[in-house]
């Protein structure tokens, strides 16, 4: 990254803090980080203190109002809405994380190899990538859901198989631009070997993209599962951000006056998605600034 | 690359997408642990309280295998399937609505889906790009960042949340729209048409809102970059007005990647349309798919998926074939 720091005007705040982490901070990232941290910590620590498994029905009285014992009341199935929400967020985050790991591995391998090998191989890979992007995913998942309803692991696999293409496309375009960049030639002429170039020049670049892709894939995966749950073609007994809305809609939460049941997951989902999105664009912005692109 | 090569290349990709897509729909159910035929037979058996004899089951299985094209080895099945879908447009009869054929069911629903999608996607693209253009062109002004903020706020919201929130807000809290939309069947006339439009407004609004945010953000980024190009400075020095510069200089160039992006994102847009249809009981392909999935009507399900893939690929092709009209660099090379 020497080329970018040299071209920077002297005396700016950024060049002074070149070796610290200050370059990473921007508003979007900060806001996103706070929101996602709260959700993640809450979703993984709170369940340790859960009084009962919230997915079990008829644990409590039905349709109770908001009290200290039940922060968000209970629903028409006798479940505590607050704990249901906490478990939903946790399950959705776990699902998103697993899918994102799988997609990141596949897309990085596919994208980098397509970008660096080039030629007919790249042409063929990009044809497959564009096909996977074009094919509408939801119909296929509805079909899979109808065939094998009760298998969460299979759903994760299916989302990975059909979700890697967008990420592979970004990684490949990054690889293309990287191929032309001066600083790699610079490093090579300065006597660095391939391993050093990979580790010191290419890897920092790639990790930035991988991180952003990882978060975007999490958004995609959580959204896809939730979508299937809302229309009732996934395993809706498992609390996720989608299944909680599915039950609320199915039991007409609006007409029975149990507004919290449907509004709480909506607010939580919007906050979580906004947080993840701000985190991803914040990282993007920070890395772009550091690269001197912006 | 001249125009002929461009069209040729694009047609090649089109065929490949359809071929790969149909192959996936062919192969997926065959690698599943559950067999639709066994599921159907056990469903029949439980309906008949277990009174079906083994011989009758055997006959039923043979009939169903014939019907689903599961006779013979995988390659024969595959070739049969492909020729049936691509050449004869034949998906067999529906199980739940026997003897109605799948293709008539789907062809009846397709205009609904296409008209909803076409209108709302074009609207989302135009509105989103317009707002994004203003936000990008005036990106130095503080008020423009408010527009971008709208995009940031809207873009990450999942589709189903948008749909449910809109129902909540505009059909329940402020009851402007019907809570459960009704779509009249039979011959169209003016009153029925008005009713259809009224009932389609909420689903359409969902699709527009969903596409809106992404278009704002993407267009804003493109417009900011284009605004700093030398030809825009030149146009300013020439004395052109802000409006001319914004539309004829910045938008004219920034719209090209946006058109390509639209073609690429059609699959996602289509996913959204399906979800909207299911949540709003809009009588399109999505609703058919959901009903078929619930009833185990696999013929209809496979047919609807095959048609969706063909429809999305074709729409992408159309956009890409319009592209040379937008980009003179391809025409005049």
Q: Write out the E strands in chain A.
A: none
Of A139, A262, A270, the CB nearest to B289: A139
What's the confidence (pLDDT) of residue A92? Answer: 93
Q: Do the Cβ atoms of A156 and A99 come closer than 8 Å? A: yes
Which residue segments constitute the domains of chain A, with CATH numbers given?
78-293 (1.10.3720.10)
Average pLDDT of every residue of chain A: 82
The verdict on a CB contact (< 8 Å) between B264 and A245 is no
B100-151 residue pLDDT tens: 888 888 888 888 898 898 899 999 999 999 999 999 999 888 888 888 888 8
Q: DSSP letter at A198?
A: I
Of A127, A233, A281, the CB nearest to B293: A233
Helix, strand, coil percentages (3-state) for chain A, rounded to 5, are 75, 0, 25
Of A136, A227, A231, the CB nearest to B312: A136
A77-105 residue pLDDT tens: 878 889 999 999 999 999 999 999 999 99
Residues of A in contact with B20 (CB under 8 A): 128, 131, 135
What's the confidence (pLDDT) of residue A132? Answer: 86
Of B13, B29, B296, the CB nearest to A127: B13
What's the confidence (pLDDT) of residue A10? Answer: 39
What's the confidence (pLDDT) of residue A12? Answer: 42
Which residue bears the tokens 């209970």?
Answer: A74
For residue A16, is pLDDT > 60? no
Q: Which residues contact B33 (CB under 8 A, 6 or more apart)?
A: A148
Residue A54 to residue A43: CA distance in whole angstroms? 13
B11-57 residue pLDDT tens: 888 888 888 888 888 887 777 666 667 777 777 777 777 777 888 88
B172-223 residue pLDDT tens: 888 888 777 777 766 777 788 888 888 888 899 999 998 888 899 999 989 9
Query: Would you call A127 an interface residue with chain B, using a CB distance cutoff of 8 Å?
Result: yes
The verdict on a CB contact (< 8 Å) between A281 and B301 is no
* Interface predicted TM-score (ipTM): 0.82
Interface test with A, best of B68, B160, B270 (most A CBs within 10 A): B160
Nearest chain B Cα distance for residue A195, angstroms = 35
What's the confidence (pLDDT) of residue B130? Answer: 93
The separation between the first and the last C-alpha atoms of chain A, rounded to the nearest angstrom, is: 15
Which tops the pLDDT comparison, A60 or B131? B131
Interface test with B, best of A131, A254, A272 (most B CBs within 10 A): A131
Residue A11 to residue A22: CA distance in whole angstroms? 15
For residue A54, is pLDDT > 70? yes
pLDDT band (50, 70, 90) for residue A6 = very low
R_g (Cα) of chain A, nearest Å: 23
- The listed range with the strongest mean pLDDT (A200-214, B28-42, B155-169) is B155-169
- If we measure between CA atoms, which residue out of B268, B293, B267, B40 comes closest to residue A145? B293
Nearest chain A Cα distance for residue B145, angstroms = 13
Average pLDDT of every residue of chain B: 84
For residue B10, is pLDDT > 90? no
A247-277 residue pLDDT tens: 988 888 877 878 888 899 999 999 999 999 9
Query: Would you call A223 an interface residue with chain B, using a CB distance cutoff of 8 Å?
Result: yes
């Amino acid at each position: 990254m020497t080329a970018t720091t040299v071209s920077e005007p002297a005396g700016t705040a950024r060049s002074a803090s070149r070796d610290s982490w200050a370059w990473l901070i921007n508003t979007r990232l900060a806001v996103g980080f706070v929101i996602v941290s709260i959700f993640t910590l809450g979703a993984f620590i709170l369940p340790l203190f859960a009084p009962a498994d919230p997915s079990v029905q008829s644990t409590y009285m039905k349709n109770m109002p908001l009290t200290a014992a039940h922060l968000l009341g209970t629903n028409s199935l006798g479940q505590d809405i607050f704990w249901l929400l906490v478990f939903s967020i946790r399950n959705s985050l776990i699902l998103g994380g697993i899918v994102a790991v799988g997609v990141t591995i596949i897309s990085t391998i596919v994208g980098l190899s397509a970008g660096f090998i080039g030629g007919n191989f790249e042409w063929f890979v990009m044809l497959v990538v564009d096909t996977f992007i074009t094919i509408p995913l939801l119909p296929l998942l509805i079909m899979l859901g109808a065939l094998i309803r009760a298998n969460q692991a299979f759903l994760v696999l299916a989302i990975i198989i059909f979700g890697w293409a967008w990420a592979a496309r970004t990684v490949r375009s990054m690889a293309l631009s990287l191929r032309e960049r001066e600083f790699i030639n610079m490093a090579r002429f300065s006597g660095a070997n391939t391993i050093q170039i990979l580790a010191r020049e290419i890897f920092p670049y790639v990790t930035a993209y991988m991180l952003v892709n990882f978060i975007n894939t999490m958004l995609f995966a959580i959204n896809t599962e939730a979508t299937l749950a809302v229309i009732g073609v996934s395993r809706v007994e498992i609390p996720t951000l989608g299944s909680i809305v599915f039950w609320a809609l199915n039991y007409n939460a609006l007409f029975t006056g149990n507004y919290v049941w449907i509004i709480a997951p909506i607010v939580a989902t919007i906050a979580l998605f906004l947080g993840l999105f701000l985190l991803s664009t914040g990282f993007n912005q920070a890395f772009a600034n550091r690269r001197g692109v912006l | 690359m001249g125009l002929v090569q461009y069209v040729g290349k694009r047609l090649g990709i089109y065929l490949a997408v359809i071929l790969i897509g149909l192959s996936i729909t062919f192969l997926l159910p065959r690698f599943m642990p559950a067999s639709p035929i066994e599921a159907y037979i056990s469903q029949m058996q439980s309906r008949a309280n277990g009174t079906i004899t083994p011989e009758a089951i055997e006959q039923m299985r043979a009939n169903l295998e014939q019907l689903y094209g599961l006779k013979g080895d995988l390659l024969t099945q595959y070739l049969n399937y492909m020729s049936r879908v691509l050449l004869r447009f034949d998906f067999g009869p529906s199980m739940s609505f026997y003897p109605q054929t799948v293709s008539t069911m789907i062809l009846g629903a397709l205009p609904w889906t296409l008209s909803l999608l076409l209108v709302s996607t074009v609207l989302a693209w135009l509105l989103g790009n317009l707002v994004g253009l203003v936000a990008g062109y005036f990106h130095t002004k503080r008020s423009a960042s408010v527009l971008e903020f709208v995009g940031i706020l809207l873009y990450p919201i999942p589709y189903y949340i948008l749909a449910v929130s809109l129902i909540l807000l505009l059909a329940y809290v402020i009851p402007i729209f019907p809570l459960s939309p009704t779509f009249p069947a039979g011959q169209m006339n003016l009153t029925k048409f008005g009713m259809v439009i009224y009932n389609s407004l909420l689903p359409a609004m969902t699709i527009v809102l969903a596409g809106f945010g992404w278009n704002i953000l993407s267009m804003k980024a493109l417009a900011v970059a284009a605004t700093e190009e030398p030809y825009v400075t030149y146009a300013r020095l020439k004395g052109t007005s802000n409006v001319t510069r914004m539309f004829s200089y910045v938008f004219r160039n920034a719209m090209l990647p946006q058109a390509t992006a639209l073609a690429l994102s059609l699959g996602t847009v289509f996913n959204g349309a399906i979800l909207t249809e299911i949540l709003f009981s809009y009588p399109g392909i999505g609703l058919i798919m959901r009903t078929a999935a619930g009833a185990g009507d696999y013929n209809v399900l496979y047919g609807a998926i095959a048609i969706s893939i063909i429809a999305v690929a074709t729409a992408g092709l159309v956009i890409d074939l319009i592209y040379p009209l937008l980009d003179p660099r391809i025409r005049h090379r």
